[in-house]
Amino acid sequence: MPELPEVEGLVRELAPEAIGRVIEEVSISPIVIESKERGREAIIKGMSTEQFKQEMKGLLIVDVIRRSKYIYFHVEKDGEKRLLISHLGMTGAWFAVNRVEDVFEEKFRKHIHVVLKMKDGGLLVYSDIRRFGELRLLNLEADHPPLLKMAPEPFEEEAMDYFLACTMKPKYENKPIKEVIMDGQVISGCGNIYATEALFKMKIHPNRATNRISEARKKELFVVIVEILQESIDAGGSTISDYRNLSGEPGTMQDRLQMYGQKQCPQCESETKRMQIDGRTSVYCSKCQR
């Protein structure tokens, strides 16, 4: 699943391609339309596909920003401001092309589900192999309450204090530390990849109860998480399988990962272990991480 660095990289490329352009027409794949007709919320969330197509027509894209793992398209028409939310799910990807045939990887081209035809020519294309992503057109951010529960951006000044306060709440204090730092209501945008890397660097076992880690160590952990997220942004994100940037290119952070997906610990060379934490596979070194 694309995490904060991957979404940030995509937004930095998407913004100049999208801002100032007007959506002339929207097309949606038959498989999404059929899924919606069967009562399944496939990609287009909160409204019918026909309503989505009609309400998207004529919208001017004013700004494109990242919030946690979400892409926020600030749009407007006739002075009325709205918000298009995009979450990439496991395999979502955006492409800026002149024709759908210009999406050069077949696996993405075969799974194009939403095409925004721009008034000045060209397309913004949303592809999603597993269809776990979402597009949601809102009047206000508050129209989708889960968005209001996201933690501050990890790079913001108040983010560390917010994180520390969360770790002391009864809701979190007895949970495994990895589950806590992957919770978007505690730290925005840190998923399985970067939680794995941060805990390995800190030599903390992913299943260690949060209340068994000192405040000083939690502060250090937070700093390490932010450093790793920034390193990944600078490296263009991690391409483990299906992440691509707007140009269809992979990131390079996967070449720097020390523990995620590894079979051998790079420090002590012992075989790594795996366990399930909050439904995700956690890779760790039982000798180095305590």
The encoded tokens of residue 7 equal 């979404």
Catalytic residue among 53, 66, 69, 136: 69
Q: Which residues contact 38 (CB under 8 A, 6 or more apart)?
A: none
76-106 burial, b at 16+ Cβ within 10 Å, e below that, comes to: eeeeeebbbbbbbbebbbbbbbeeeeebeee
Judged by DSSP in three states, 104 sits in: coil
Catalytic residue among 3, 8, 179, 197: 3
287 is catalytic: no
CA–CA distances in Å: residue 15 to residues 8, 58, 100, 137, 225: 11, 18, 20, 18, 26
User: d(Cα 133, Cα 185) in Å, to the nearest integer?
Assistant: 19
User: d(Cα 248, Cα 159) in Å, to the nearest integer?
Assistant: 32
User: d(Cα 268, Cα 190) in Å, to the nearest integer?
Assistant: 26
DSSP 264: B
Residue with tokens 């194009």: 112
Q: Are 154 and 252 in contact (CB under 8 A)?
A: no
Backbone angles phi, psi at 152, to 5 degrees: -60, 160
Catalytic residue among 21, 57, 273, 280: 280
User: d(Cα 2, Cα 243) in Å, to the nearest integer?
Assistant: 7
30 is catalytic: no
110 is catalytic: no
Other beta carbons within 10 angstroms of residue 135's beta carbon come to: 25
Give the type of residue at 170. P
3 is catalytic: yes
- Which residues are known to be catalytic? 2-3, 69, 280
